[in-house]
Amino acid sequence: AAKDAGRDQFHLHTLALDEAIQTEVAIHGMVKQALHENRLVLHYQPIVSSAGTVLGVEALIRLNHPEKGLLAPAAFFSALDHPRLARPIGRFVLIEALRQGAIWQEKGLSLLVSLNISTRHLLDARFLEDLQEALARHPGLRPEQIEIEITESAPLHDLPRAQAILNNCHRLGVRIAIDDFGTGNASLTYLQQLPSDTIKIDQSFVRDIIDDPKDLAIVTAVITANRMLGLKVIAEGVEMAEHADLLTKMGCSHLQGYLFSRPIPAEDIPAWIARFRPAPKLGAALPPMDI
Ligand code: C2E
Ligand code: MG
Ligand code: MG
Ligand code: MG
């Protein structure tokens, strides 16, 4: 009987596994089709400085599904790092974000355009080519206006290689950000080894700074260390004015979150910027910083 039970369990287990694999296959098929049918879309979320100016925007991918409407990346996360999909997705993001940045630039809106690159695409032998191709298409946009976000939450299997590639990107003038800072276990290694200009403090730390003295201490240390290194510090997931005030007082140079804006379609960005008025308190406590 024990043997039977074991077999049943094994059977259940393979069923669950089957289902998981089928889900993955369906997701990858959906993304592949969306790529073919030009249904991948970028929305943009403003990033503001503590002094109350707009620094730029982060491009965030969405999938326009024929029945379900606009899907957030959570619905197709595994595709972003898939061996055959990571590069086509990354190329779409590079070309589309730079195209959009060039349009804003032409309108006189000089923004820093930040984009997320999967570690798989970054480590692809053709990544630098892909980046240069996108830059060459839009000569009106300076490389300094582009920031590549590398997430710390997905391990970089080959750090020396990532370092070499990012050094080449940096030489072109493109900026490098470490995204989701603090969520992996390589934060300090990344800071030391990668040519980073910016770190983005993950929203999981930002969320609790008001109630949790531990999180407040961690975020304070992160801000201080990175300011000493001359890096730009962006706090992600800023939802409440209290967060913005506290982060600003702690010396955080930039803020991003629903308090200011959700990610929105490209065509809504100019109007959002024109309307943006920083809260009066924002910037008041911060000593000026030249970044
Ligand atoms: P991320 O790069 O850390 O982006 C920040 C995420 O937090 C975005 O979710 C954004 O919409 C969300 N967010 C911004 N402000 C707030 C806030 O105040 N509160 C809360 N609760 N959330 C906020 P989104 O757009 O769903 O993207 C999730 C993740 O998917 C991104 O995290 C990034 O890792 C990945 N991703 C997004 N676009 C791309 C892309 O084009 N390529 C790749 N490879 N990954 C992408
Ligand atoms: Mg990001
Ligand atoms: Mg992040
Ligand atoms: Mg994140």
pLDDT in tens, 126-148: 999 999 999 999 999 999 999 99
Residue 122 CA to ligand 3 center (angstroms) comes to 17
* Environment of ion ligand 4 (residues, CB < 5 A): 180
pLDDT at 4: 59
Which ligand sits closest to the CA of 180?
Answer: 3
Q: For a ligand 1 pocket test, name from 60, 115, 148, 254 the mutation site with the most ligand atoms within 8 angstroms of its C-beta.
A: 60
pLDDT at 50: 93
Which ligand sits closest to the CA of 200?
Answer: 3
CB atoms within 10 A of CB 14: 10
- Residue where the block lists tokens 């809504």: 268
Pocket of ligand 1 (CB under 6 A): 45, 60-61, 72-74, 80, 93, 116-118, 149, 151, 179-180, 203, 236-239, 257-258, 263
Query: Is this structure's pTM higher than 0.90?
Result: yes
pLDDT at 288: 46
pLDDT at 17: 78
The residue ranges of the chain whose pLDDT is under 50 are 283-291
Tokens of 273: 């910027």
pLDDT at 291: 42
Q: What is the pLDDT of residues 16-72, one digit of tens each?
A: 778 888 889 999 999 999 999 999 999 999 999 999 999 999 999 999 999 999 999
Cα three-residue angle 173-140-54, rounded to 5 degrees: 70
Backbone angles phi, psi at 280, to 5 degrees: -55, -35
**Dihedral (Cα; 220, 222, 225, 231), 10-degree rounding:** -120
Tokens of 186: 């390589």
pLDDT at 5: 60
Residue 60 CA to ligand 2 center (angstroms) comes to 7
Q: How far apart are CA 41 and CA 81, in angstroms?
A: 17
Residue 256 CA to ligand 2 center (angstroms) comes to 10
Q: For a ligand 1 pocket test, name from 116, 127, 181 the mutation site with the most ligand atoms within 8 angstroms of its C-beta.
A: 116
Angle between helices 86-106 and 2-36 (to 10 degrees): 40
CA nearest ligand 1 atom 10, residue: 263
ipTM above 0.95, yes or no: yes
